[in-house]
Each structure stands twice: as structure tokens, then as C-alpha cells.
Amino acid sequence: MSLRSMRFRITAIATVAVALVLLGVSVVLVVAQHRQLTANLDTSLRQRADDIAALIAGDVPSELGAFGSEAFSQLVSTSGAVVAASANIAGRPALAVVPPGIGAEQIRSVTGLEIEEDDDTFRVLSRTVTIAGSRAVLHVGASVESIGDATEALTSSMAFAVPLVVVVLGALIWLLVGKTLQPVEAIRSEVDSIGGDDLERRVPVPHTGDEIAALADTMNRMLDRLEQGVAQQQRFVADASHELRSPLTRMRSELEVDLRTAADVDRVRLESIRDEVVGLQQLVEDLLELARSDAGEQATNMVNLDLDDIVIESARLLQGGARVDVDMSGVSGAQVRGDRNQLRRAVQNVLENAARHATSRVTLSLQEASGVAQLAITDDGPGISPHQRELIFERFGRLDSSRNRQSGGSGLGLAIAREIVRRHGGVLELAESSGPGATFVMRLPLA
């Protein structure tokens, strides 16, 4: 799971947002409950004060009702003497509460009072009343412990429920986002697997009619345009190459005839023109080979064959040029399954490239190892720098210095060889080398 994936980011952002919302709702709920319970207690105190005020309107009893073990009441004269009180605070001095103004009442929270041996916070209502023509202050109070207990219980419930809800919602969001992005991943993986030789493939279109379906339709229309463009390019290269083969063949034939009867002064010029025509013929053949390969029209006659026979045959043809020495002492038997003509062309292309850039020697090695036939072709030329290792396999890819057009080759030989090897389930690559020269390694599955 990548922390940079859209699925993770959406899940993380949504989960954090839900957590913040639930946390805010929990705080508001706890505060609202506390305020509501306090308001209910204040209403209860007013009702008790009304009852006591009605009780003492005619005659003041020696004991006032407390309306509960955690509640109390006290009547105090203006001089500070306790006139009457509930049983649980009988005999105690007047409450140290600032009396309200004449005809007024006030409610406040008072701490430090001991009622029924409990030191707790009390909600106290103080009201000015008139008794027998004299003013007095009536105090009615009740403990807020029940409010604290209810608030604490709600807080504990929220502390357990909110993380649980966040985890559950996070998991649901993760699953829903993954299911939502599943078509996108299917589109991405399909596009990633489409190569230049299978542009007829299309991405799956979900039956949702949403933005993802529109994206898939857009991708498929783009692939249609790419397929049409590549097909037109392939047809053009194939048609142009095919049309050039006949005139080049006629030109070469006429030059060969002229060379037999030409004077010495014209022979050098005619040989130079012939060599150029031969080079153009090879270029046209290479272009036609690539066009057929790109179009998937390259037929293969797959049979079991001895790769060492192809290597030795190609090496002997190279020795006929007598420009470099070819060491075949490392060639041993190896049987593969493939098309003889195509594999011969691949081996010859790599050999001709090695001979073209070798100083004096090309070394061949063919061995069987781990289920593959491994052919290594090494030249003692100037070598290839590491950052140019893949450039030589590109079409018309040439290196500067000695590996250029003047040294021969069209820049297509290695590209064709790699494509042929790939069609046979193998690989062609440039091996790492610390010394001079270059070593090309061709690996093909054993038959």
C-alpha cells in the first residue's frame, strides 16, 4: 500500500474529517447535556423554593423540607440568624452566600459545603422573601453530583464510540474507494500492458455511465487513433520499401554489367555507386522487415534446430571477408526451437555489427545454461559507454565517434535482431564490460 496512492489519501482525508466532525459533535453533545441537566436542576430548585415560600407564608416551621438527601434548605433573617433549616444542616450557621437584592433571586454554584458528610459542589438558589412583614433570605440547594455523573458517563461513552465509529467508517471508506477506483486500475493495467504490436486491444468500459466510463471511452478512442496512425505508417513504410526494391535491383544489375566492360578509369566510380546501391538495398530490406514485424505479418516456421550450426555458418561467411579473425573455439552444441531464416538473420546482424567495429578479432561463445542457449559475441573495438547501452538497439540508433554511418550499417541491424529474438521468447542485450570492446549476449529457450 502506497502512502501516495489516491485510495490512501481519500481514505485518510475522509477519516480525519469524520473524526473531527464526530469529535465536535461529541463536545457539543456533552456541553448541551450538561447545560440541560443544570437548567432542569435550576427549575427544580425554583419549584422547591416556591413550595417552601408558600409553606412559610403563614407560620414558619422549625424544620424545612430538604426534598432529598443531597438537597437542603435554609431560611436566614436579614441579621444573619438562621430562622429555619432542613434537618441535614440543622444547627449550622448561615450559608456564606451573598444575598440577592430586595425582591430578587439568584442561582449560583457553591463549593465547600458538607451535606450528609459529602463535600461536593451544590447548585444554590437564593431568594428574598417576606415573613410577617420582615424580609428574609431563603436558600435552597441541591448537589450537582448527578449532573457530573451523567456528563462523565456520556463522555466515557463518546470516548469509546467515536474511535470505534471512526475505525468502522475508515474501513468502509477504504473498501468503497477501492471498489470505486477498481475500474480505473483495470484501465491503467490494460493500458500499461498494451505494446506497439497489439494496439488492437481496448480498455474495459464499466457499465456505470459516470466519469470513469467516460475516461475509458476516451482512452479507447485515443487507442483507435493510435492504431490507425501506426497502421498508416506501417503501410507507408512497407509500400515504399516494396516499390524501391525493383528499381534498386535493376540499378545494381546494370552496374554489375557495366563493371565487366568498363575502363579502369571508370571502374572506381562504378564500384562506389554499386556499393551505395547495395547499401540502399540492405536499408530497404531492413525497413520492409521492420514494417512486416510491426504489422504482425512476419510468419515463423518454428522447428527444432541446432543453433550452433547457424552460428558456425554465419561466422564462416564473416571470415570470407577476411577483415577480422573470428574465434569459434567457445561454440558448443545448443538446440532451440525457432525459424531458421530469422535466427540466421539475427545472428548475422549481431556478427556484422561486431566485425564492423572490431579492431582485429571477434570471439564467439555458445553454451547451455539454466534452460537457455546463451550466445556471446565479443569484439575488441572501442566499446560502448554505459549511458548508450540501449541507444544501439533503437531504430537508426547510432553512436558518435567510431560507431557512425561512415563505418557502415543503417542503424537497423541490432533493432531487427532484438525483435527477432523477442519473437522467439529470448532476449538480446549488451553485457557489462570493464575492459575495451563490446559483448552482445543472446539468450534463447532451449528446445
Interval 135-161: pLDDT, tens: 888 889 888 888 888 999 999 999 999
pLDDT confidence bin for 241, thresholds 50/70/90: low
Interval 306-317: pLDDT, tens: 989 998 988 888
Q: Which of 208-212, 237-241, 372-376, 377-381 has the lowest mean pLDDT?
A: 237-241
Q: What is the mean pLDDT of the chain?
A: 81
**128 or 271, which is more confident?**
128
**Chain mean position to CA 338:** 40
In DSSP notation, 233-277 reads HHHHHHHHHHHHHHHHHHHHHHHHHHHHH--HHHHHHHHHHHHHH
Interval 64-74: pLDDT, tens: 876 766 788 88
For helices 307-320 and 340-357, give the axis angle rounded to 10 degrees: 40
Between the alpha carbon of residue 170 and those of residues 156, 240, 294, 319, 394, the distances in Å are 22, 61, 49, 72, 49
Which grid cell is 60? 414558619
Interval 182-197: pLDDT, tens: 888 888 888 888 876 6
- pTM, to two decimals: 0.52
Task: Report the first-to-last Cα separation within the chain, whole angstroms.
Answer: 41
Above 70 in pLDDT, residue 123? Answer: yes
Q: What does the alpha-carbon distance between residue 296 and residue 303 come to, in Å, rounded to a whole number?
A: 19
Q: What does the alpha-carbon distance between residue 59 and residue 405 come to, in Å, rounded to a whole number?
A: 127
The average pLDDT across 209-226 equals 88
Q: Which pLDDT score is estimated for 35?
A: 93
SS3 content of the chain, % helix, strand, coil (to 5): 55, 20, 25
What is the DSSP code (8-state) at residue 60?
Answer: -
Q: What domains appear along the chain, each with residue ranges and CATH number? A: 1-192 (no CATH), 211-294 (1.10.287.130), 303-445 (3.30.565.10)
